[in-house]
Each structure stands twice: as structure tokens, then as C-alpha cells.
Structure 1
Amino acid sequence: MSSIIFTGLIFFMGGAVQGLTGFGAGLVVIPLLCLIIDVKEVVPLCNLNLVVINIFLAYTLRGCLDKRKILPLICGAVPGIMIGTIFFDAINPELVRASLGTLLILNSLYNLLVRPRPLKLPSWAGYFAGLCAGTIASLLSAGGPPLIVYTTLTNWTKNEIRSTLIGVFLFNSSFTALAHAANGISSLLTLQYCTVTIPMILLGTFIGARFTDRINRRLYLKIIHFFLIIMGTIMVAG
């Protein structure tokens, strides 16, 4: 019984982070949940919950969803996944993870301390960001950082950044959920946990999103870079 309560609280915190920033639920949920549940249950459970909250956030931000922003990232990710798969055995994943984590920390510190102006990026930049994300996702299962860095470099509004990230993550999590179901990775126990976790993660997402609605773009970006520093530190530490 206590494990179910803790599981619900963990997903509540993960939902609050995702609602606040548009990403990061997995960063909170997976490390904590692995302490009380087998990792084979954690991954499909987390992904199913991500599908639900990304659908919820996509609906709430439906007016800001722009396929011209989202599709280049998705289209770029497909060949990136193939590239990462081809070179999977030839690349040291620990070195890639540590290098990416270091870049995230340095980039976020620069943005927090210097506060550079938004860039007017060329049209191919979205495809390149998607390519990097797909490659890193296939190597490390951590394709989010290139997408987050790309969106925060633009002059997009707070909700345009959130909706673009959510649109891409919804595609990724839905595709992964189908793959898990087809391969029998999601079990009956996974669905039983969902009866507790989905209401809690939705509640956390709702609260986090409401908070984000009340802050300006500058503070929103500061929060994103704070979480990126945490993510980078975790990646460097392995």
C-alpha cells in the first residue's frame, strides 16, 4: 500500500514539472520510481503516463500548436534515429552522455548569466535539431535536450515553446507506447498502476501548467535552464 502512495506522489511531482516546463517528467519519475518498482515496470508505466499528460497539454495549448514548427523536428528525428542505431556499437555512450551533459550545463549557465537575445534561426535549423535529437535518443534514450535548446534559442513565445516541445514529445511517447504494447512490454501490472498514477500526474500537470500561465517568458526560460542544469549534472554523473 505504501509503495502505491509513494508512486502516486512521484507521478504528481513529475506531472508538476512537465506542466511547468513542457518536459522533465521522466527526469523526476524514473530515478525515484526505480527505488521502489522494478525498472521493467517503470519504463512502460512512465511512458503511458507521458502519453496521457502530453495529450492533456496538447489540448490545453491547441491554439499554439503549429505544424510548421513541429514537423521539421519530427522529420529530422527519423534519420537521426537511423544514424544513432548504425553507429550504436562504435560510439562510447558514457562519453556522449558526459559531453552532452557538460554542454547543457555550460549553455544554461551562459543563458542565465549573459541573457543573450533570441536568434532568428534559418529554416533548416529545426531539421538539424531533430536530427541531433533522434541520434541522441537512439544512443542514450535522451533526445529531449537538443529540442529544448533549439526552442529556447528562438524568439517564440512561452506557449509556442511549450506547445512545440509537447507536440514532438506526444509523437515520441505515443510511438513508444505502441511499440511497448506490440512487444508485450506493458503488462497487466502496468495498467493497474495507471489507475493510481494517471489521476495524480494529471493533477500535478494541471497545477504546474496553471503556475506557468501566471509567469512571463523570461522567468519561464530561467526555470527551463535551471532544469537543464539539473539534467546535465545527472548526465555527467552517469
Structure 2
Amino acid sequence: MLDLTPAFFAFAIPAVIFSGMSKGGFGGGAAFAASAILALYLPPPVALGLMLPLLMLMDVTALPGYWRRWSWGDAAPMLMGALPGVLLGAVLMKHADPDLFRLLIGVICIAFVAWRLAQGAGLIRLARIDRPHRGFAGASGMAVGFTSFISHAGGPPAAVYLLSRGLDKMTYQATTVLLFWAVNLMKVGFYAGAGVFSLSTLTADLILAPVAMLGVVIGIKAHKVVSEKLFFGITYTLLTFTGIRLIWVALA
């Protein structure tokens, strides 16, 4: 049961706006931050269930603009790999307690920041693959399915494969939009079966839907005036403190 109190909306509104900004103007890789921030206030499965319809709304809004501009040769094996990853996440959600989810989300937050900083510093360089590689794509897709299921954070494992393909910016973005639209659809039935949706979470989603769209619009406009360095600097700071806090709570 989710109490729709002023304290909840004080957490949820900034988190959802931030997620929309990431989706709308900064590649979407940090959109999972909203789930991590909400997991500080809510049980993690409730936070994940709350965010999924909002992320799907953002996906549906973005998909028409990238229609058929994706690389199906790369997307198809990733989607095939994503299904067992989603199934693994569903098994974990059924048997794990909330503290394990807090720990995993916290670790993913810290790992995401470390990976991006190492990539920016040139410590991680991905070898280019000239043609789609089914094995690599499938393994990446499985990681996408699992991390997306437990934290909505499938961006990094998707990027590991797609960046190695050297796709142009439009094809890369279109492929990620297609991938996460499909993966989020896979997750709906399992989330419903796990009982993470409720009348109160769906009511909150209806209230927050305009907030999510506002975040996307702000992101589109902010992309033109706010440097990626500033945006991701704020993102990394938020995720670092959020990750440390989630790990601390889980272990304590």
C-alpha cells in the first residue's frame, strides 16, 4: 500500500522530472535514478512498480520519432537474450527480501558511476565490431533484462554492446528506444504477478504522468542550454549518495 502523502510527492516529483529529463535530452542512461531515489522512501518493489508505467509512457512518446531507424540485426539478439534475464529477475523478486534489492540497486548505482567515469577518463575502450555478433548481443541482452527488471538500469549493459558496434547517433538512440520499449513490455506481466502494482501506485502514476512528460520537455530544452558535463555531474553525485545510502540501509 502506497500512501499518497505530501512527503511521498516531495520525493516522487523531482525524481520523475529528473528521469524525464534524462530520457528527453541526455540519452536516457540515467533515467533509472528515479527508481533508486524512490527506493530510499519506498520498499524497492513498490518503487519499481511505480516507475514502470511512467517509463513506458516515456518510451511510447519517444518511439514514433525513431520508427524503423533502429538496427534490427543488433536489437533482435539482444531482445532474445533479454527474456531469460527478465525471468531471472522475476525469480529473484519472488524470493528475495527488500534489503537484497536495496543492496543490488545501491551497487548498480555505484557501478554505473564508476563505469561512466572510467569511460570518460579513457580507462575503458570498447573494441569495434563491424557486424552484429549474436553471442555478444545475447549476453548483453540478458544483462539488460536482469538489471532492468531489478532496478530499471539496463542502460550500461546495452551500451557496452551497442557502443562497440560504432552505430551512428540516430541508429544507436533508435535501437535503445526500441530495446527498452520491448523489455519494459516483457516486465509488465511479471511485475503484476509479483503484486508490485496496486490501486494506489496506479493512482500515483496517473497524477505523475504529466510530471513525467514535463520532465521530457524540460530535458529536450535543457539539452540545448545545459552542458552534459553539468547534468551528468549532478547525476553522478545523486547516484553516489543514493547508492551509498541504499547499501548502508541494506547491510544495517
- What does residue 21 of structure 1 align with? 27
Instruction: Name the SS of the counterpart of 1:185 in structure 2.
Output: coil
* Aligned ranges 1:133-172 → 2 under 5 Å: 133-134=144-145, 142-172=153-183
Q: Supply the distance in 2 between the matched residues of 1:44 and 1:117 (Cα, whole angstroms).
A: 34
1:123 corresponds, among 121, 124, 132, to: 132
| Percent identity of paired positions between Structure 1 and Structure 2 | 17
Q: CA RMSD in A?
A: 4.2
Length-normalised TM-score, structure 1: 0.71
Distance 1:18 1:235, change over 3 A: same
Cα distance in structure 1, aligned partners of 2:156 and 2:60: 21
Distance, in Å, in 1 between the alignment partners of 2:177 and 2:233 is 17
Using a 3 Å threshold, how does the CA distance of structure 1 residues 175 and 10 change in structure 2: closer, same or farther? same
For residue 206 of structure 1, the aligned residue among 217, 236, 244 is 217
**What is the letter of the counterpart of residue 144 of structure 1?**
G
Using the TM superposition, give the Cα deviation of residue 60 of structure 1 relative to its aligned residue in structure 2, in angstroms.
Answer: 2.5
Question: What TM-score, normalized to structure 2?
Answer: 0.68
Name the residue aligned to 1:59: 64
CA contact (8 A) 1:111 1:225 kept: no
Structure 1 residues 211 and 58: alpha-carbon distance in aligned structure 2, compared to 1, 3 A threshold: farther
Q: Kindly tell me: are residues 233 and 161 of structure 1, through their superposed partners in 2, closer, same or farther at Cα, counting changes over 3 Å?
A: farther
- Runs (4 or more) in structure 1 with deviation over 6 Å come to 83-89, 92-95, 138-141, 219-226
Instruction: Please give the alpha-carbon distance, in whole angstroms, between the structure 2 residues aligned to 1:36 and 1:201.
Output: 19
Alpha-carbon shift at residue 33 of structure 1 (Å): 2.5
Partner of 1:2: 6
Number of equivalent positions: 230
Select which of 203, 206, 210 maps to 1:195.
206
**Which structure 2 segments of 5+ residues have no match?**
248-252
What secondary structure is seen at the aligned counterpart in 1 of 2:121?
helix
After superposition, the C-alpha distances for 1:1-59 in whole angstroms (9 at most, x for unaligned) are 633642333211211112222232221x2233345555453221111111111111112
Kindly provide the CA deviation profile for residues 58-96 of structure 1, in whole angstroms up to 9, marking residues without a partner as x.
12222523322321211122344567789999xx9979x
- Bigger mean CA offset, 151-160 vs 104-113: 104-113
- Partners of 1:195 and 1:230 lie apart in 2 by 26
